[in-house]
Chain A
Amino acid sequence: MNLKFGIPDTQLKDRIKDVDINCTSEEEALGICAGCILCGEEPIFYTQNSGFLRCLDIITSLFIPYDIPFPHTLLSIRHQPKHHETCGKVTKKIIDLLGYYRIEIIEEKC
Chain B
Amino acid sequence: MKRIEAIEEIMKEITDEIVVTSCGKISREVFATKDRPLNFYVMGSMGSTLPIAIGISLCKPSKKVVVIVGDGEVLMSLGTLTLLNKLQKEQKINNLILYILDNNSYSSTGGQPTVSDAVEFRLLCDCKVIFVEEGNSDIPRISLKPVQIKERFMEAIREERK
Q: A-side interface residues toward B, CB under 8 Å?
A: 1, 3, 21, 23-25, 27-41, 43, 57-58, 61-62, 65-68
Tell me, yes or no, whether B79 is within 8 Å of chain A by CB: yes
| Size category, B interface | 20 to 34
Known: A39-B157, A66-B150. A61 touches B52 (CB 8 A): no
The one of B56, B77, B146, B147 in contact with A38, judged by C-beta atoms closer than 8 angstroms, is B56
Contacts of A68 in B (CB 8 A): 150
Contacts of B83 in A (CB 8 A): 21, 23-24, 28
Contacts of A66 in B (CB 8 A): 146-147, 149-150
> What secondary structure prevails in chain B residues at the interface with A?
helix
Known: A66-B147, A67-B147, A67-B150. A41 touches B48 (CB 8 A): no
The residue on B at minimum CB distance from A62 is B45
Q: B-side interface residues toward A, CB under 8 Å?
A: 40, 42-48, 50-60, 77, 79-80, 82-83, 87, 146-147, 149-150, 153-154, 157-158
The one of B55, B147, B150, B158 in contact with A43, judged by C-beta atoms closer than 8 angstroms, is B55
Contact B80 A28 (CB under 8 A): yes
Contact A58 B45 (CB under 8 A): yes
B44, B51, B56, B87: residue with the most chain A Cβ atoms closer than 10 Å: B51
Contacts of A38 in B (CB 8 A): 40, 52, 55-56, 150, 153-154, 157
The one of B43, B59, B87 in contact with A39, judged by C-beta atoms closer than 8 angstroms, is B59
Contact A35 B150 (CB under 8 A): no
10 A-B contacts (beta carbon < 8 Å): A27-B77, A28-B48, A35-B52, A38-B150, A38-B154, A39-B56, A39-B157, A66-B149, A66-B150, A67-B146
Contact B157 A40 (CB under 8 A): yes
The 9 closest A-B pairs by CB, nearest first: A35-B55, A31-B51, A61-B44, A24-B79, A39-B59, A32-B55, A31-B48, A61-B45, A35-B56
Contacts of B50 in A (CB 8 A): 31
What is the CA–CA distance of A36 and B61 in the complex, to the nearest angstrom?
12
What is the CA–CA distance of A57 and B150 in the complex, to the nearest angstrom?
18
